[in-house]
Chains A and B, each alone.
Chain A
Amino acid sequence: MWPFRRSTQNGLENEIAFHIEERVRDLIQTGLSEPEARRRVRHEFGGAQQVGEQCRDARPGRWLDLLAADLRDSLRAIRKRPALTLTIVATIGICTALNTSVFTVVDSLLLRPLPFDQAGRLIVLANQYPKAGITDQEESAAGDYFERSQAVDTLSSQAIYQMVSYPVDHGGGVTQVRGVSVTPSFFDVLRVRPAQGRFFDLAESEPGKDLAVVLTDGFWRERFGGQPALGSQIRIDGRVRTVVGILPPGFRFMTSGARYFVPLALSPEEKRARHSNNYRYLARLRDGATIEQVRAQVDALNLRALDLLPQVKHLILESGFYTHIEPLQSWIMRHVRPSLRLLWAGALLVLLAGAANLAGLSLARAHARTPETATRLALGATGADLVRRAVVDGLVQALAGGAVGVAAGTLLLRALDRSLLPGAVEIEVSPLVAVYAMGGAILAGLLASLVSLAPALSKTGLRPGARGVTGRGLLLRRVFVIAQVAFAFVLAGGAALLTVSLRELLRVDPGFQVDRVWTATTHLPRASHPRNEDLLQSADRIVRGLAGIPTVSSAGGASNLPFATSFNDIVVMADGYVPKVGESVVSPIQFLVTPGFMETLALQPIHGRLFEDRDTSGSARPVVVDERLARRFWPAQNPVGKKMYFPGAPPDFRMTVVGVVRSIRLKDLAGSGNPNGVYFRPWSAAPTRRFSFVWRGPDATVPAVRREFARLSPGTALFELASMAERRDGSLSARRTAHGLVLLFAGVAALLTALGLHGLLAFLVSQRRREIGIRLAIGCAPGRIFTGVLADGAALSGIGLLVGTVLAASLTPWIASQLYGVAPLDAPVLLAVAILIGAISIAATILPALRASRVDPIHALREN
C-alpha cells in the first residue's frame, strides 16, 4: 500500500533473518540440534513480527501505517457486516441525493450570480400601484426610460426591452420563435461583447430603420449551420432583417428560448408615454452607487413628472404609485424563492433524520462490538486509537454514500422539469454543490461514528464479554429515535398539508368550462397586417373557419388566455362611483374577446348579455364585467346600462355595461393575481398582434384545427396549442413538483424512522434476553412482555410526535405561502399524520416485541 516504505521493511526483515541464521549457526556449533537451536532463537528473539512492528513505531510517518491499518480494519468490518454497512451507505446516499438535487437548484438560482459581468450591480425598475391592487407588475413606461437615461446619474447604463415572439421565415417554413426587442443600450447594461459583427446603433432604434437583428450563437448555428451570416437576411415578424451581429456562445438572457434580438423602435409619442407600462426596465448601478440613491433620484423624477399629467395626477398618487427597484437576480427569483426555501428545509430535515438514524445504527454496532473494543483497550489501544478508528469508519462510509448520493442526485436533476424554473440560468452541479453534499455526507457519517464511541469511552461495560447495556449510549439512541420521529412527523405533516392544498385547489371551479376546451395562440405579423382592419379580418377568418369545422361546437378569440402568467391590468372608473376614503383607484384585468370566446368557455351572463357580432363595429363600446368588479362599482344595483371610462380619456369616451358574468379565476385556481376582477371588451376595440383562440370539441379536433389554421392563415405559426385542462395543470405544476418532492422526503424520513425504531427495540430486546428469560421463567405472561416492548416503542414515538408538533409550529412561516384552503397547523390533518406516523412506529415495533415474547427461557438462561 505504501511503496516507499517497502525497501526499509524488506531491509529490516533481511537484517532480522540474518541475525537469526547467525545465532542458529553459533548454537549448532555449541552442540545443539538444528530444530532445538531454532526453537531457542525464536524464544530469545521474541517474535520477528513484533520486532518489525516496534521498529515501525520508532519511525516518523507512523500514522500513515496506522491509517492504512485502520482502513484495512474498516474494510474488513464492512465485509463482515455487509447488510449494516449497506444500510448506512444507502441512508447517506439517499439523503445526499436529495440534498444534491435540491441544493443544486438553490445554488444555481439563488446563490450563484447571473452569468453577466458584475451581475450583482444589475437592477430592475418596475412601476407599482399597490393601492390599486398592482404590486407585482414587471414593467415600466417608455417615458420613464427616456427621462431617466438623461437624469439618473447613479446608474451607469439603462435599457428597456420587451420579450417578443415572432414568426421567423428563413427558408423551409415559418416557425414561431421567441426573441427580445431591445434599446441599443441593452448590451452595454449586460456588458456583453459581440462574438461577431456589432450590436445596434442609435439610428437603428428609429421606426423604419430597425431592420437589424442580432442572433444568439445557438440560433446562428441552427439557422446558418455556423456559416458566415453577417449581412444575411432573415424574415422576422414578416419583415426582412439583416444579421448585424452574433452573440457569444453561452449567452442567454432570462430564458434559453430567446434566440434573437431586434431593435426596439418607438415613435415620439411612445417615448413620452407615462404609466403605460409595456417595457421591462434593466439598469446597471454606477460603481459606488447604492439602490437607495437610485430610488431617491427616481422618486423625485416620478413626482415631478406627475405635474405634467394634471388630469390623472391625483388618481396616480392615490394608487400609491412608486417605482420598485430590486437587484435583477432577486427579482427574477422572487416567485420560486419561497418554494425553494421550503424544499431546502425539507432536504435538510431528511439529512438530519438520516444522521439521527445513522447515529442509532452506529451505536448498535458499537454495542455489538463492545467485546472487540474492550479487547483493544485491554491490549493497550488508547482513546485516540479508538477515535481514529471511528473517524476512518465514518469517512469510508460517508465517502461511499456521498459519492453514490451525488451521482444519484445528478440523475434526479435530469428528471426535473426545467420549465418550472426561471430560465435565466443553467441548472448545474457546481463545486459548491459537491462540497455541500459531500460535506453533509461526511458530517453525517462522522457524527454517527463518533456518537458510536460514547459507550466505548464511558468506563462501564467494557470488560471483554460484558453484556451490560451502557446507560449513556442507550439514552442517546432513544434521543435519536425521538428526533427521527419528530423530523418524520414534520415532513409528513408538510406533505399532507400540501396534498390537502392540491386537492382543495383541484376542487376549485375556475368559473369557466375547462373540459373539452382547447387553446392556441398565433402572432399576426406587422408586415402582412399593417392596419387594424387587417388584424380584424384575419381574426374573423380564423374564428369562423374553426367554428366551421364539423366537430367543433364553438370557437372564439381573445387577447390572452386563462392560466397565463401575466395579464393586462388597466385603471378604469365608473360614472357616479366615488372612491371611499382610503380606497384607491381600481385596476382590473382587461380581457379583449371576440364573440364566441365567452360562449366557448361557457360563461353565462347573470345579467344582460354577452357580446354579439354587432358589437364588433360601431361606437357603442359595450363592456361585460365580472361580479367582483360589478360589486365594487355598483353594489346592490343592476350594472347593465351603467357607464365606465378610462381616466384621462376624452370626456365623451364612455363604455356601456351590457352584461355581467360570474367571477372567474384567470391566473390560477388559487385566485392569485389581480383582486379587482375582470372586464371584457370586444377584441375589435383594440386588436392585438398576439391573438389567442379557444374552441370546444373532442381531441380529434386538434389535427383538423391545425389543417384549417394552415389554410386560413399562411405565413403565421400556431403555438402554445394545449387543452384548457393542460393549462390549468400547468398553473399548478410548480405546486405539484414541490408537493411531490416533499412527499418523497416524508417517505424517506418515515422509512428511516421505522428502521431506526425497529433497530433500537430489536437491540434492546436482544440485550434483555436474559432478563426476559428470567421473567418468563418465573411466570410472566408472554403477552405482558409483548405489550411492554410495544409500550416502550409507543412512548418513544409519542415523545417524538410531541417534539415534532413543537417543531412544526416553529416552521409554519416556511410553508404558509405554499398552502391553499388549509392552515399550517390544521388540527385534523396533523392529527391524521400523527396517527399515521404512530401506526408506522407501532408496525416497526411489532417484530421486536414478538421476538421478545417468544424468548425461550431455557435458551436465554443457558446462553451465558
Chain B
Amino acid sequence: MPPPLVLLPLQCYPQQLEAQGIPSPLPQGTLDLLILKTVALGPVHGYAIAQRLQQISGDVVQVPGGSLYPALQRLEQRKWIVAEWGLTDTGREAKFYRLSSLGRKKLSNGSESWHRLAQAIGLILGLPETKAN
C-alpha cells in the first residue's frame, strides 16, 4: 500500500518543504476543496471533517490538525464557510461548519476545474511509452 497523502499547511514555502525532505503535496487549494465538499454534506465539526476525509478516501488522505484548523480559519475568514457552536450527538460543545452560498459557488468551480485537470493529467499519463532499448 502506498503511503497516505499528508496534506500540509498550504502556506508552507515549497523551498522549506524541500529542505526538510518532504515531497510537494497536492496542488495548492486541494485541501480547501476537500473541506468544502465535506462541509457541503451537512453541518459538521472539525474532527468529523478529518475523520470523513480519511474514511471516504480509504485512509489515502490524512489531514493533521496543523493543516486542518488554519485552513478552516482561512475559509471562514473568506466567508466560504460559516461556523456555529453547537452540541454533538454525545452532548459535547463543538464548532460546526456549513457551506455559505459563496462557498457553494467556489466548490462547484473548484471541483469542475479539478476534474478537468485530473482528466488532462490522466490522458497524459495514460499515453503508451516506448520501451527503452
Do A16 and B69 touch (CB < 8 A)? yes
Least distance between A553 CB and chain B CB atoms (Å): 96
Contact status of A380 and B65, CB under 8 A, knowing A54-B9, A59-B77? no
Do A46 and B64 touch (CB < 8 A)? yes
Do B65 and A44 touch (CB < 8 A)? yes
Do B65 and A16 touch (CB < 8 A)? yes
> In the complex, A18→B69 CA distance in Å?
12
- Which of A12, A14, A44, A57 is the one whose CB lies under 8 Å from B64? A44
- Which of A18, A20, A48, A58 is the one whose CB lies under 8 Å from B92? A18
Least distance between B113 CB and chain A CB atoms (Å): 23
Do B94 and A55 touch (CB < 8 A)? no
Do B95 and A59 touch (CB < 8 A)? no
Which secondary structure dominates where chain A touches chain B? Answer: helix
Chain A, residue nearest B71 (CB):
A58
Do A23 and B47 touch (CB < 8 A)? yes
Chain B, residue nearest A56 (CB):
B73
Do B47 and A19 touch (CB < 8 A)? yes
Whether, in the assembled complex, A653 has its beta carbon less than 8 Å from a beta carbon of chain B, the answer is: no
Least distance between A703 CB and chain B CB atoms (Å): 87
Do B16 and A380 touch (CB < 8 A)? yes
Do A54 and B70 touch (CB < 8 A)? yes
Do A51 and B69 touch (CB < 8 A)? yes
Q: Which residues of B contact A51 (CB under 8 A)?
A: 65-66, 69-70
> In the complex, A847→B98 CA distance in Å?
71
Q: Which residues of B contact A14 (CB under 8 A)?
A: 93, 95
Q: For chain A residues 150-183, which have a beta carbon within 8 Å of chain B?
A: none
Count the B residues whose beta carbon is within 8 Å of the partner chain — how many?
21
Contact status of A57 and B66, CB under 8 A, knowing A15-B94, A18-B45, A18-B92? no
Q: Which residues of B contact A48 (CB under 8 A)?
A: 65
0 or 1 for each of B33-55: is its CB under 8 Å from A? (1 = yes): 00000000000011100110000
- Which of B65, B73, B77 is the one whose CB lies under 8 Å from A19? B65
Least distance between B127 CB and chain A CB atoms (Å): 39
Whether, in the assembled complex, B74 has its beta carbon less than 8 Å from a beta carbon of chain A, the answer is: yes
Chain A, residue nearest B49 (CB):
A19
Whether, in the assembled complex, A227 has its beta carbon less than 8 Å from a beta carbon of chain B, the answer is: no
> In the complex, A50→B66 CA distance in Å?
7
Chain A, residue nearest B74 (CB):
A58
Least distance between A30 CB and chain B CB atoms (Å): 13
Q: Which residues of B contact A16 (CB under 8 A)?
A: 65, 69
Do B65 and A60 touch (CB < 8 A)? no
Whether, in the assembled complex, B130 has its beta carbon less than 8 Å from a beta carbon of chain A, the answer is: no
> In the complex, A19→B88 CA distance in Å?
12
Do A46 and B66 touch (CB < 8 A)? yes
Q: Which residues of B contact A12 (CB under 8 A)?
A: 69, 73
Q: For chain A residues 24-57, which have a beta carbon within 8 Å of chain B?
A: 26, 44-48, 50-51, 54-55, 57
Least distance between B68 CB and chain A CB atoms (Å): 8
0 or 1 for each of A798-832: is its CB under 8 Å from B? (1 = yes): 00000000000000000000000000000000000
Contact status of A45 and B65, CB under 8 A, knowing A15-B46, A18-B92, A55-B70? yes
- A21, A22, A23 pick with most chain B CB within 10 angstroms: A22
Whether, in the assembled complex, B133 has its beta carbon less than 8 Å from a beta carbon of chain A, the answer is: no
7 A-B pairs closest in CB distance: A46-B66, A45-B65, A54-B70, A19-B47, A22-B47, A55-B73, A58-B74
Which residues of A come within 8 Å of B, CB atoms? 11-12, 14-16, 18-23, 26, 44-48, 50-51, 54-55, 57-60, 380
List 17 additional A-B contacts (Cβ < 8 Å) besides A16-B69, A20-B65: A14-B95, A15-B95, A18-B45, A18-B94, A21-B92, A22-B47, A45-B66, A46-B65, A47-B66, A54-B9, A54-B69, A55-B69, A55-B70, A57-B70, A58-B74, A60-B77, A380-B16
Chain A to chain B contacts (Cβ below 8 Å), 10 pairs: A14-B95, A15-B69, A19-B69, A46-B64, A46-B65, A51-B66, A54-B66, A58-B74, A58-B77, A380-B16
